[in-house]
Amino acid sequence: MSVLPITRDEIRLAMLGMVEGNGHPYSWSIIINGSYDAKALAACPYPVIKDYIAKQPPGTLGIPGAKVTHVWTDDPADAVQVAAVAHIPNIAKRAEDVIGEVDAVLVATDKGFEHVERARPFIEAGIPVFIDKPLCDNRLDLATFSKWVAEGKPLISSSAMRFAKEYVPYHRATHALGQLRHVSATMAKSWEAYGIHALETVYPITGPGYVSVQNIGDANSNIVHLRHRDGIDVILQVTRDMGGGFGMVTLAGTAAGLQLKFTDTYHAFRTQLVGFVDYLRTGKPPVPWEETRELMQLVIAGIESREQGGRRVFLSEMD
């Protein structure tokens, strides 16, 4: 397809969807648009968002050459709030109403099983789509997205944890540790929605090449062992109420080890969104599809392993 690159001076974006527990339409719209109504933000129901947005120095918000011009949310009242906070001029009655009005859309929800149908109208219309993590959580939907990508449909998805400044220095750069033997990461909430945060924290460090996934936990506390072809054992714990463990990482090799802690949410989100805008300008995705596909296979394998009593699921089964 030839919809990319987009050459207009200011790319028009639509922010679409909102589900319980996910305030991305608020924060992403502010980060992109570069200004916000402080009084309206005070009414935002997400204290973490209010905190990290308020901490940003004046003039540092905004992504040049892009604006969120339209918003739609599942509950119309949410769209009114988001529009007021981020100075979004247009509220759509239906998500599909933005077709023909914008250059690209962001599906800002984190329920992977909904994403095929949320994205379908825009994919079929040839509109570039950014889909919040996780892209999907089952094999059938992954096959659908793979088909669309093979057809040249412009879509990308990622976790902001890939872009966290605390981890980026170690992306495929752990030589001082010797050969990696152990990587662990902890994360809160559910494996279905936040397992991808843990996975995309460690994946750019180890690189691709995962062999198997085994989840010996349960729906509230997922304990997941992944084996990498380079002899690395990766242990991920994603526990629903473990807020204190969000983004804690251990790297241990044959020569040395270290520990990392995620702290800067704003930087990770902004870098992720800049990557999407750059993709619209250049047509070059910030994350290769092959990596996104393997990451989704890991998410899905973690679910299947848990549901099958902790069986070790091999990535070779997922092809």
Q: Indicate which CATH number applies to the domain containing 51.
A: 3.40.50.720
Q: Output the pTM of the full model.
A: 0.97
Examine residue 20 and state whether it is found in any structural domain, yes or no: yes
Query: What tokens does 10 get?
Result: 């200011």
Q: Are residues 194 and 94 in the same domain?
A: no
Could you tell me if residue 290 is inside a domain? no
For the chain, 319 residues long, give each residue's pLDDT as a single digit of tens. 458 999 999 999 999 999 999 999 999 999 999 999 999 999 999 999 999 999 999 788 999 999 999 999 999 999 999 999 999 999 999 999 999 999 999 999 999 999 999 999 999 999 999 999 999 999 999 999 999 999 999 999 999 999 999 999 999 999 999 999 999 999 999 999 999 999 999 999 999 999 999 999 999 999 999 999 999 999 999 999 999 999 999 999 999 999 999 999 999 999 999 999 999 999 999 999 999 999 999 999 999 999 999 999 999 999 8
Q: Is the distance from CB of 5 to CB of 282 less than 8 angstroms?
A: yes
Let me know if residue 289 belongs to a domain: no
Choose one of 157, 187, 218: the last residue of a domain.
157
Give the range of the structural domain holding residue 166, as residue numbers without chain letter. 162-263+297-317
Residues 144 and 247 in one domain: no
| Residue that finishes a domain, picked among 120, 142, 157 | 157
- In this structure, are 177 and 114 located in the same domain? no
What pLDDT, in 10s, does the model give residues 62-118? 999 999 999 999 999 999 999 999 999 999 999 999 999 999 999 999 999 999 999
Same-domain status, 137 and 186: no
Assess if residue 145 is contained within a domain.
yes
Find the CATH number of the domain harbouring 223. 3.30.360.10
> Do 301 and 180 have their domain in common?
yes
Same-domain status, 93 and 229: no
Q: Are residues 311 and 166 in the same domain?
A: yes
Assigned domain for 268 exists: no
pLDDT in tens, 279-293: 999 999 999 999 999
